[in-house]
Structure 1
Amino acid sequence: MASQFILLALLVASAYHAFASDPGMLQDFCVADKMSQVLVNGFACKDPKAVTAEDFFFSGLHMAGNTSNKQGSAVTGVNVAQIAGLNTLGVSLTRVDYAPFGQNPPHIHPRATEILTVLEGSLYVGFVTSNPDNKLFAKVLNKGDVFVFPQGSVHFQFNYGTNSAVALAALSSMNPGVITVANAVFGSNPNISGKILAKAFQVDKLVVDRIQAQF
């Protein structure tokens, strides 16, 4: 019986580590030492004696991003790249600005769940479940509304209004990563074969060639 209990405890522990987004904390903090040559899953720790309050600070989310681009949106990220003190803490933040009819196009965060709050304007948002159902969960959000995008799901936001919109998103990783679907599929370096994409999307290769030319 004791051996069965130990085995169950080991399985639970291994499952916890398998589903955890980022490495767990083993000390008060592990400020990223970005000059370290040590390769780890994240960043090596800076000497605690060299840590200052600035390692936990970022200023700039009060400033609107430049939305004069094809998508009409701007993402200002606050992750471990901006705040070294986020290393191993498992959280990050982004501000997203949307021009009228701008969008944050379909994308994936491979390492994080996202919870988004609308600060100004209205957004049409949604995410798609995995194969085989590919079910769309979508909703119109207004100021103060909150929506969750599960980790690894394809999701998007679209400003259908004539005014600018602003949202703030929290993510469950210090470095959530982002894969923009269109860029990854049609703008890879080197390109994915047009024949492969034409068959995948069930379109003529000339259509694929025209889309790839945009990237």
Structure 2
Amino acid sequence: MQMTVISFSQNTSKAVTNSTQIGRVIQKLTHQDVDIINIKDYGLKPCHLCGKCAESKTCEVDSSFKKLLEDIKHPDLIFFVIPFYAPFPSKLMIFLEKLNEIFYASWLKDPSYVHPLQKAKIGLVTHGGLVDRVDVVKHYQTMLNEPMVKTLNGLGFKVIVDPKAYPYGLTFGLESDHSIKMDKDNIFPDISHQESYVEHRMKDYVGYVINQMSQ
């Protein structure tokens, strides 16, 4: 099974972001080779509705986006790993916008066409910088997970969820306040997930996703 993790963190101050760390945990939990793609490495541009993608099935005016699609390839499973802020990272919005226009323009050209990327199943993991509590998880689910699941399903993807345990994928916060460290040399605090806690929070959902892929 070919698996890809897309980290939607745009934090350029760290070589390894929390989202990238989560991607590595996914690789560890699945015992498989996983391609980890960092969206921060691509200078994506907004869609201009030129319509050229109806023929090429990619973006003809944004070389970074074209390279991103080439790097994603055609995996069986994609994990979207999304940090909560704003609440949607801007490059995530550009990514979804361009996929929508590529899929839509291709459909207008040929209603029977299915883009190879739409055949991938989706696992959704979101995380944030507040301490992990029931109210925090519910906030992340309402503001980020639920809209993302509905958007991805609307784009023709199948998001792997469990109606009871993971109705909108997985979301979690920090283990404790100790994960937040102030730095006198930087305006923003350093917020880091403890890897052992990330594994603990992700193990069951990742296992569920992999099990669903085998059915």
Select the structure that is richer in helix: 2
Task: Compute the TM-score of the two structures, normalised by the length of structure 2.
Answer: 0.23
Select the structure that is richer in strand: 1
Q: Which has the larger radius of gyration?
A: 1
Task: Compute the TM-score of the two structures, normalised by the length of structure 1.
Answer: 0.23
